[in-house]
Amino acid sequence: MDVKSKVLALKYRPVVFEDIIGQKIICDTIFNSIKNNKTPNAYLFTGIRGIGKTTFARIVAKALNCKNQVEKLCKTELCDSCLSIANSNNIDVIEIDAASKTSVEDVRDLIDLSRYGPTNSKYKIFIIDEVHMLSKQAFNALLKTLEEPPMYETGGGLKFIFATTEIKKIPVTVLSRCQRFDLSRVRSEELFKYIKKICELENGNIADDALKLIVKISEGSVRDSLSLLDRALLSNENDKKLQLSDVQKIFGYFDKSYLIELFEHIFNADQNKVIKIYRNIYNQGVEPKIFLNDFLEILYYLKNINYFEKDSNNFDLNNEEFEKIKKISNDLNNEILILFWQFTIKTLEELNLVVDQNISIEMFLIRLLHIRSIKTQTSNDSHNVELKIDNQNTLIERKKKSEPINQIKNIIQEKDLKKPDIKNKVEDIKIKSFNDLIKLCNTKKEIKLKYELENNVNLVSFEHGRMEISINEKLEKDFIKILSTKLLEWTNERWMITLSKKIGEKSKKEYEADTKKKLFEDAKKTEAYNKFLQTFSDAELVEIENKDE
C-alpha cells in the first residue's frame, strides 16, 4: 500500500520503542530485559482498544530478532528481519488472530510447528492477537509449551506474545506463565500533543479546541484519536481552519455552554426555555443517548466542581464553563443532584423501549422541572418533607413527623401503605415469635406466605415490630411487600423487615428435615431395630412416630 494512501493510524504506527506514547515504563522494562538477555517465555499485553497492544507485540518481535541488536533497533533503514516483520512475511514470526482460530487443533498445529527451529532469526515467535478468544481446550494445550518452550541451535528459543482486551477471560494457569503488561489510557495532554504534531505533518488546519474535542471523544485510545483526526482532515476540503463548532457537527457533539444554560433554566423552573434549548440541540443532529451522557457529565461536575482545577488536562470544560458550573453549584444541595442522576440513568434505560426517543427526552426534562419545583416549595416547609425515588421511579413525598425514615428498610417498604380502618378491628393480634407468625399465616389462609416463611426464610433476629432475615434468592420478589402489608393489616402496626448479609438460621423445613434425619440415625442404633434386622434382613425403616408412655 502506498504510504500516502494509508490511514493515519497505519501511516504513523510506531516502529521502535521511542515512538510509543504514554507507556514509557513498559517500554523501558522490555528494552532492559532484552538488552540483558532476561526475556520471559511469554509476553501478555492488555488494555483498551487502540492503545498499542499489537504494535508492542511487533516491536518486541523486531527487538528480539533485529540484526543490529535492541540498542540500535532499526527505524528507517530496516534490516532483512525487521523489514519482513514489518511486512508480515517473516517465516519465523507467525501472527495469528485468535478470533478466527480458536480451536485446540489450531493450537496443536502451532505446537507442532514449534518443533522446528527458526530459519533466518534467533527466536521463533508466535504473536496471538485477541488471545482471550481461544477455547478452554486450546489454552490447556498451550500450558506445557508455555512453561517449557523448546530451545534451538541458534541460541534462542520460542517466544509467545499475547494481546487481549479481555484479561479476565484468560485462565489463571496461562496468566501465571506470562509476563503481564497493562497498557494504560494515554493522558489527554500527551495525546493532544501527539495528534497536533501529526496534524502539522499532514498540513492540517484545525484549531486546538477542535483537537481537544477529538482527544476527549477518543477516551485515551491512540488509534481512535487518529481515526477521528483523519475524518476531520477529510472533511476540510478548503484551506479554512476547522473550528470547534465544525468538529462538533462532524462528530455529532454540541457546545456544552448550551447544556449549562439548560441547567440554569431547569433550576429556575422555566419550562419554555428548557424545551426550546433542547430542541435546538436536537436539531443539530445530536442523538438522545449522547445528550443524556453529556447531561450526566454536567451533573457530575455540578456535584464535584470544587475538587477540580481550572487548568485540568481532561479538556472537558473551558474556563468560562468552569466558572458557570461553579456558580450554579453554590445554590444546589447534593440531594437534588442525586435525584437528577437517578432519573437520568432511568431514562437511559427507557430509551430502547420508546420509538420516538426525542419525546422521551422532553418528558424527562419536564419531570426534572417538576422535581425541582417540589423541592423548592418544600425546602422551607416546617414539616420537612423528604423526596425519595422508589423502585418504580416515581416521586414520593413523605413527612418525617408521620413516618420514621432514618432506619434501613427494604426499598419496597418505602411505599406509603394505608392503615386499615381501626373502627372495624375487633382485636389486636400479638405476634411474639417467628412460629407465631407462621401459625397466623395458616389461620388467615395465607398459604403462599406460609410456604415462603417455612421454606425460604432464614431468620437472623425476631422481635416485636421488627424482623431481620438473610438474603435468599429463592424468595419471591414481592415477598417483603406482601408480608409488610399483611402484618400492618393484622396487627395495626407497621413492621420493619430488613435483609441482612448475615447467615441466618436454617429454615423451618430444613430444621425439620435435620431433626427427622437424626431421629432415623438414632433409631437405627437401637437394640430393637438391630434385632428386627436379624429376623427380617431386607427390612427398611421408613417412618418414625413419637408416642406417649
Report pLDDT digits (tens) over 132-142: 999 899 999 99
227 and 161 part of one domain = no
241 and 278 part of one domain = no
> For the chain, how many helices (H) and strands (E)?
22, 10
Question: First and final CA of the chain: distance in angstroms?
Answer: 100
Contact 157, 122 (CB under 8 A): no
pLDDT of residue 422: 43
Between 254 and 106, the higher pLDDT residue: 106
State mean pLDDT over 504-516.
80
242 and 262 part of one domain = no
Q: Band of the pLDDT at 315, cuts 50, 70, 90?
A: low
Q: Band of the pLDDT at 516, cuts 50, 70, 90?
A: confident
Residue 204, φ and ψ in degrees, nearest 5: -80, 150
State which of 160, 182, 204 marks the end of a domain.
Answer: 182
Contact 291, 396 (CB under 8 A): no
pLDDT of residue 358: 87
pLDDT of residue 80: 87
Q: Band of the pLDDT at 44, cuts 50, 70, 90?
A: very high
106 and 221 part of one domain = no
State mean pLDDT over 514-542.
75
Helices 288-304 and 357-378, packing angle to 10 deg? 30
Max avg pLDDT among 303-307, 362-366, 374-378: 362-366
pLDDT at 5 exceeding the cut of 60: no
Q: Band of the pLDDT at 310, cuts 50, 70, 90?
A: low
How many folded domains does the chain comprise?
4
446 and 473 part of one domain = yes
Q: How many whole angstroms separate alpha carbon 349 and alpha carbon 366?
A: 18
Q: How many whole angstroms separate alpha carbon 368 and alpha carbon 352?
A: 20
- The answer to whether residue 295 sits within a structural domain is yes
State which of 483, 500, 517 marks the end of a domain.
Answer: 500
pLDDT at 396 exceeding the cut of 50: no
What CATH number has the domain bearing residue 311? 1.20.272.10
pLDDT at 275 exceeding the cut of 80: yes
46 and 126 part of one domain = yes
- The answer to whether residue 22 sits within a structural domain is yes
Q: How many whole angstroms separate alpha carbon 493 and alpha carbon 484?
A: 10
pLDDT at 471 exceeding the cut of 60: yes
Q: How many whole angstroms separate alpha carbon 501 and alpha carbon 518?
A: 29
Between 417 and 285, the higher pLDDT residue: 285
Least confident range from 97-111, 169-183, 257-271, 531-545: namely 531-545
Cell of 503: 447467615
178 and 47 part of one domain = yes
pLDDT of residue 380: 47
Q: How many whole angstroms separate alpha carbon 471 and alpha carbon 539?
A: 43
pLDDT at 398 exceeding the cut of 70: no
pLDDT of residue 304: 82
pLDDT at 43 exceeding the cut of 90: yes
Contact 163, 129 (CB under 8 A): yes
- The whole-chain average pLDDT of the chain stands at 81
pLDDT at 475 exceeding the cut of 90: no
- The answer to whether residue 280 sits within a structural domain is yes
Between 337 and 406, the higher pLDDT residue: 337
Whose cell is 528494552? That residue is 31
pLDDT of residue 547: 61
Cell of 364: 424527562
State which of 228, 251, 274 marks the end of a domain.
Answer: 251
pLDDT at 162 exceeding the cut of 80: yes
The model's pLDDT over 322-344, given as tens digits with 9 standing for 90+, comes to 788 888 888 777 888 888 898 89
Q: How many whole angstroms separate alpha carbon 94 and alpha carbon 101?
A: 13
Q: How many whole angstroms separate alpha carbon 79 and alpha carbon 65?
A: 10
20 and 169 part of one domain = yes
Between 255 and 225, the higher pLDDT residue: 225
pLDDT of residue 385: 41
- The answer to whether residue 401 sits within a structural domain is no
pLDDT of residue 289: 87
Q: How many whole angstroms separate alpha carbon 409 and alpha carbon 404?
A: 10
- The answer to whether residue 75 sits within a structural domain is yes
- Closest among 344, 296, 306 to 327, alpha carbons compared: 306
For residue 68, the one-letter residue type is N
291 and 438 part of one domain = no
Between 436 and 549, the higher pLDDT residue: 436
**What residues make up the domain containing 351?**
257-385
pLDDT at 197 exceeding the cut of 70: yes
- The answer to whether residue 283 sits within a structural domain is yes
Residue 389, φ and ψ in degrees, nearest 5: -115, 125
Torsion of CA 450, 454, 456, 461, to 10 degrees: 100
Between 184 and 532, the higher pLDDT residue: 184
- The answer to whether residue 226 sits within a structural domain is yes
pLDDT at 384 exceeding the cut of 50: no
166 and 204 part of one domain = no
How far from the centroid of its chain's Cα atoms is residue 496's Cα?
33
